[in-house]
Amino acid sequence: MAHKTNLLLAATARDQLRWARSHIYALLILAPLVLGMIYLTLLQATSYDLKLARPALFLQILLAAAFSFSVMAVSLSRASRELYHLRRPSSFAEALPLTGAEHLHFALAIRAGHNLLLALALLVIHSVLSKESMTGEEILALLIFSALMTVSESYAALSWIRWGHKRGRPRAVMTIALLIISSGACGLLLALFFNEAAAARLAELFQMRAPFWASVFVYAQGCALALIFYLLVHFLHEGWRGEDIDYAHRLEHRDWPEFNFARLLRGRLPRAVCALLSRDLALSLRVFSSAVYVAAGTACLIIILLVTLLLTGALPSVEETLGGLRDLGWMSATWFPSSLAIKTATLLVVTCLASIVPVLVSHQIPHAWLERAVGATGNQLWLAKLWYARLLTLPAAIAIYIVGVLAALIGDTPLSLSYLLPLLAECLWLWWLVSSIMGALAFEMLDRPGLALVLTLSLCLSIGMLTVVLWPMGLGIYGMGVAQARERGIMQAARYLLTEER
Amino acid sequence: MKEKLVEVREVKKSYSTTVAVDGVSLCVNAGEIYALVGANGAGKSTLIRMITGITYPDEGSVQVCGEDTRKGARAKRYLGYLPEELTFYERLSGREYLQLVAGLKEADAAQVDEALAFFELKAVAEKWVGGYSLGMRKKLGLAAAMINNPQVLVLDEPLNGLDVEMMRKLRARLESQKQMSRSVIVSSHYMDFVERIADRIGIMSRGLLVAEGTAKALREKAELPSAPFEDVFFKLAG
């Protein structure tokens, strides 16, 4: 029985390894670079005396359980795809003489692989947060956590597909109850993994003689639950697979209501522009290039840096910053160190994310026949990229403002409360200015995408820095520059449509 | 009397309010080629998925070589299936893919070379499937279905993407399956091909098997003795 599962797993692994070989640059250079930078930044950030209190054990368990439950919910679609081979190369095995157990074990092995990656991420976070070295018990807790998550996710996926066509309320209630129990057990395991004092506290709570027995209790109930869930999944999968597989396919093809920013602009922009914009945003959300990971990773780094600066009090004092400047009353708050940090972070993140625009244009060149065939105009193409840059970066700008203000308030960094709204306006102004410039220059130097990226980034950063310090400067630049960039951009886009030469 | 290799009894399959297959019964004998024709959405693919045991009927039963398709993988040992929508491991070579299928079917690995040769895939056998054309993918799917020389071959739209020469070769291969007392169930929109190759034709419309018989019998039923078979189909499918 295991032989056929192994054959399928080996084929999947070979396929994935060959994929990895063709993305060697991203995997061996870009990913370690970005992940390494994030790791080192986290390490540096946690080496400061963060003004954060560790929550009570009960709250820790509750948060960990909520995290586990969220991961189960997020994995529903993926786990059901693995169970029923939906849109997967292994779907051919459906008509081959494989037993239900062989299909299930294949799916569980793939799921376990994903959960081991999650465990690896948790391991890194643990090594960053804890000054002590990892113990064997903690690793054991993590392994049991991964096993329990794997079977729980598969159980959730099976039940979700069943719910899709049977709508049995009692079964749904039972499923949710079981998943809550499983999440609770995962929460306990995570608490043991992250908090070395958890076992002692639990022993006190359960009135046990030694912390060791509390750990054993948590491990045993984790293993028992994993076994129970495995048997349950095995039993349900045998019974339901043949009946549910078509519903799983239909669920996959159903049009899920998804939030589409482009929809907000319907009526304000031509329909063709909205269609192009929707496509571009969907491509970005589905990570059309490793550049998306790099930009998102760098943006995360900047946010971590901002939070660290605001929480640790590493910024200079208001007096030091405003020393030689004339007092402008409440308007002076624009030069408060916290305001400048939040604005600079907004500029950097917006620039970073908007740098995906030239990469996207470069990625789309081989598929430009579509725009050519439907008779799209240069203006439509240019408008689509302009709004793409704006919409892609808007959530990040708002998020930085919120995170920045909260971090400043928690970290007791001086921030004028009366300037909160003007600060929001400044951040939004920076977002609008920088994303508009990046979008407007989307079709520049298509034959030299690297150079185009360097030049547009430099331009955006210099204009942006001027605006961070003195926001009215941006007004002049926008008024004079973007109107002319529009004309040029439309012309360049039209040229891109007319000829296949770059 | 010939042995019944496939027996479908009163199968019904619905998706919420849509009835995809509504009480269809049919049987396919050893050494027979049975063609299923019908418009898109008539229920052919759902019926085929039930015959191959991928999905179960809500009512009724399907038996392949005497084995109920609900009973796990046993019935699938007798089946070879070419789905309409082909998905492959894009980064496996054609040979590696067929070796995998042979392994899963517990077939002799020597059949891989034979299948590659028959479907003219030897020259590209070491290339990744991701680089194959539509026709090459179809040939690879056919080769995979035919590995282990199954008792019952189920082909859903086998001609899409095939060139004329390969169509002829495929027809000859299916004829030879017949000689070996194997059964073939084929679903296709190519009426000429269906008429030429099938011993019996089943016409499906809105989930029902509205007519069944030899091409000649169907022509007589439709009272169109010399018209193209397409016209016979339209008349009987309503």
How sure is the predictor about A419, in pLDDT bands with cuts at 50, 70 and 90?
confident
Q: Which spans in A85-168 are helix H? A: 100-129, 136-166
C-alpha neighbours within 13 Å on the C-beta side of residue B70: 13
Output the pLDDT for position A249: 79
For A238, nearest residue in chain B (alpha carbons): B72
Question: Contacts of residue B73 in chain A, CB cutoff 8 Å?
Answer: 97-100, 102
The per-residue pLDDT for A501 is: 47
For residues B72 and B53, give the distance between their C-alpha atoms in angstroms, rounded to a whole number: 8
Distance from CA of B52 to the nearest CA of A (A): 6
Taking contacts as CB-CB distances below 8 angstroms, the residues of chain B near A245 are 54-55
Shortest Cα–Cα distance, B92 to chain A (Å): 6
Please give the residue of chain A at the shortest CA–CA distance from B87. Answer: A89
Whole-angstrom distance between the N-terminal and C-terminal Cα of chain B?
33
Tell me: pLDDT of B12 over 60: yes
Smallest CA-to-CA distance from A217 within A231, A207, A227 is with A207
Interface size, chain A vs chain B, as Cβ–Cβ contacts under 8 Å: 88
- pLDDT of A257: 46
**Quick check: A319 and A336 in contact, CB under 8 A?**
no
H-helix or E-strand spanning residue B28: strand B18-29
* pLDDT reported for residue A133: 77
Q: Cβ contacts (< 8 Å) between A242 and chain B: which residues?
A: 53-56, 70
Cβ within 8 Å of residue B180, ≥6 positions away = B31, B149
Q: What pLDDT is stored for residue B176 in this prediction?
A: 92
Identify all chain B residues contacting A164, using CB atoms and an 8 Å cutoff.
Answer: none
State the pLDDT confidence band at A502, using cuts at 50, 70 and 90: very low
DSSP B93-132: BHHHHHHHHHHHTT--THHHHHHHHHTT-GGGTTSBGGG-
Whether residue A323 has pLDDT greater than 70: no
The mean per-residue pLDDT over the stretch B38-62 comes to: 92
Query: How many degrees, rounded to 5, is the angle at CA A261 between CA A258 and CA A263?
Result: 80
Average pLDDT, chain A: 85
Global ipTM: 0.86
Strand pairing report for B79-82 and B152-156: parallel
Q: How far is A163 from chain B (nearest CA, A)?
A: 12
Residue A297 has pLDDT above 90, yes or no: no
Task: Give the pLDDT confidence score for residue A279 in this predicted structure.
Answer: 87
b/e per residue, B26-64, with b = 16+ CB within 10 A? bbbbbbbbbbbbbeeebbbbbbbbbbbbbbbbeebebbb
**Nearest chain B CA: its distance from A286 CA (Å):** 19
3-state secondary structure A368-384: CHHHHHHCCCHHHHHHH
The answer to whether A43 and A128 are in contact (CB under 8 A) is: yes
Give tens-digit pLDDT for A133-173: 788 888 999 999 999 999 999 999 999 999 888 888 899 99
Of the residues A15, A17, A163, the best mutation for testing chain B's interface (the one with the most B CB atoms within 10 Å of its CB) is A15
CA angle B68, B70, B74 (to 5 degrees): 65
Q: What is the pLDDT of residue B221?
A: 92
A332 has a pLDDT exceeding 80: no
Residue A29 contacts residue B118 (beta carbons within 8 Å): no
- What percentage of chain B has pLDDT greater than the value 90? 75
Residue contact A97–B46, C-beta within 8 A: no
Backbone angles phi, psi at B158, to 5 degrees: -75, -15
- Encode pLDDT of A9-55 as tens digits: 999 999 999 988 888 877 888 778 878 877 787 777 666 655 555 67
What is the per-residue DSSP string for A239-259? HHHHHHHHHHHHHHHS-----
| Nearest-5° Cα angle at B218, B216 to B222 | 120
Mean local confidence (pLDDT), B62-78? 89
Q: In the prediction, which pLDDT does A261 show?
A: 61
Cα dihedral B142→B147→B148→B152 (10° resolution): -10
A185 within 8 A of A148, measured Cβ to Cβ:
yes
Asked if the C-beta of B118 comes within 8 angstroms of chain A's C-beta atoms, the answer is: no
- In the predicted model, what is the mean pLDDT of residues A194-215? 83
**Placement of tokens 């809105």 in the chain:** B206
Higher pLDDT, B172 or A313: B172
| Residues on chain A touching B146 (C-beta within 8 angstroms) | none
Summarize the confidence of residues B214-219 as an average pLDDT: 93
Whether A95 and B79 have beta carbons less than 8 Å apart is answered as: yes
Sign of CA dihedral A77, A82, A84, A86: positive
The better pLDDT of the pair A321, A352 is held by: A352
Instruction: Return the residue matching tokens 């030897």.
Output: B122
**Widest CA span of chain B, in angstroms?**
52
SS3 B182: coil
pLDDT tens-digit series, residues A220-248? 999 999 999 999 999 999 989 888 888 88
Question: For residues A4 and B72, what is the distance between their CA atoms, to the nearest angstrom?
Answer: 15
3-class DSSP state for residue B48?
helix
* pLDDT on residue A37: 79
Measured CA to CA, the distance from residue A453 to residue B131 in angstroms comes to: 32
Q: How many helices (H) and strands (E) does chain A have?
A: 22, 0
Would you list which residues of chain A are within 8 Å, Cβ to Cβ, of chain B?
3-4, 7-8, 11-12, 14-15, 18-19, 22, 87-100, 102, 165, 242-243, 245-247, 250
Task: Write a three-state SS string for A439-477.
Answer: HHCCCCCCCCHHHHHHHHHHHHHHHHHHHHHCHHHHHHH
Of A50-54, A239-243, A306-310, A332-336, the one with minimum mean pLDDT is: A50-54
